[in-house]
Amino acid sequence: MAKPASPPPVIVLKDLHKRFGIGDAEHFAIDGIDLTIQKGEFIAIMGPSGCGKTTLLNILGLLDDEIEGEYKLNGKPISSLSGRRKARIRSEEIGFVFQSFNLISRLNILDNVALPLVYKGMSKLKRLKKASKILHDFHLGEREFYMPRQLSGGQVQRVAIARALVNEPSIILADEPTGNLDSHASHIIMEELSDLHQKGNTIIMVTHNPNLTTYASRVITMLDGKIDTDTFRLPLPTRRTPKRPLTADTKQKKETK
């Protein structure tokens, strides 16, 4: 009996380039990257500012498709996908977590988390029930009707992660998810991402903090738009310390320049 075919890698990049500017001002933010990512990997991408980390993340998330080279997502070249199909993939298969949170200030927490479900045609009652459930999973059920300004930085970031996960995406892209948080809030956010990794999600995280790479199964460093090092490693064992919910006393760190 023939063995079933193994699934393709989640992401394959071949000789990927992304250029900005023209003439004498032209430069490559991504300069000939080859990269294969398998389902279930937790990848941390590091490197100095301007090395192309966030540009790469935007390309992987189909937010920037003006590229040269090949990008296959789940075995399909993205060049063959229509704009509508790419939008559906972003909505259903990819979850984004940003450093700046990007919550809508005029919506309460419940409505913020439920917002991605609008594009799936789900009824309002079902949207709110699903959003409420995931907020309870993140120990934020009692703050469903708070406004974003009433939460601490750590709580707002957990809301942002809940919103990213409400569509049950298989790929999570995180750009400096703990960049504005204190050490306690950062630990809880990374525990949540680690739990998601244990459940089989593919996580790709950009970070400047070398301490966070201990959660990853693979660490990539970038330099001048290229992959400088690519190291596979065993992540630390799952922590067993209880995760106490973030409170309003958890302070958001001041952004350093």
Of 100, 16, 56, 96, the residue nearest 221 (C-alpha): 56
**Which residues have CB under 8 Å from 256's CB, separation 6+?**
none
Here the tokens at position 81 are 């996908």
Q: Is residue 96 part of a domain?
A: yes
Q: Is residue 186 part of a domain?
A: yes
How far, in Å, CA of 17 to CA of 139, rounded?
A: 42
3-state secondary structure at position 23: helix
Helices 124-137 and 109-118 pack at an angle, to 10 degrees, of 120
Q: Is residue 107 part of a domain?
A: yes
Residue 99 sits in a domain whose CATH number is 3.40.50.300
How far, in Å, CA of 230 to CA of 222, rounded?
A: 9
3-state secondary structure at position 47: coil
Name the DSSP letter for residue 172: E
Q: Is residue 244 part of a domain?
A: no
pLDDT of residue 236: 56
CB atoms within 10 A of CB 212: 22
Phi, psi at 143, each rounded to 5°: -115, 20
| 218-223/226-232 β-pairing | antiparallel
Torsion of CA 256, 172, 163, 150, to 10 degrees: -20
Q: Strands of 11-20's sheet, edge to edge?
A: 27-37, 11-20, 68-73, 76-77
Q: Is residue 15 part of a domain?
A: no
pLDDT of residue 24: 79
Number of domains present in the structure of the chain: 1
**Which residues have CB under 8 Å from 48's CB, separation 6+?**
223
> 181 lies in which domain range?
39-65+78-232
pLDDT of residue 223: 95
Q: Is residue 5 part of a domain?
A: no
CA dist list (Å): 193 to 51, 78, 161, 199: 24, 27, 9, 10
pLDDT of residue 154: 85
Strand spans (E) along 4-56: 11-20, 27-37, 42-46
Q: Is residue 16 part of a domain?
A: no
Mean pLDDT by 10 residues, the chain (257 residues): 74 96 86 96 94 94 92 94 91 86 91 89 91 90 94 89 89 89 84 89 94 94 96 65 47 44
- Entry pTM: 0.83
Q: Is residue 253 part of a domain?
A: no
Are 201 and 149 a contacting pair, CB within 8 Å? Answer: no
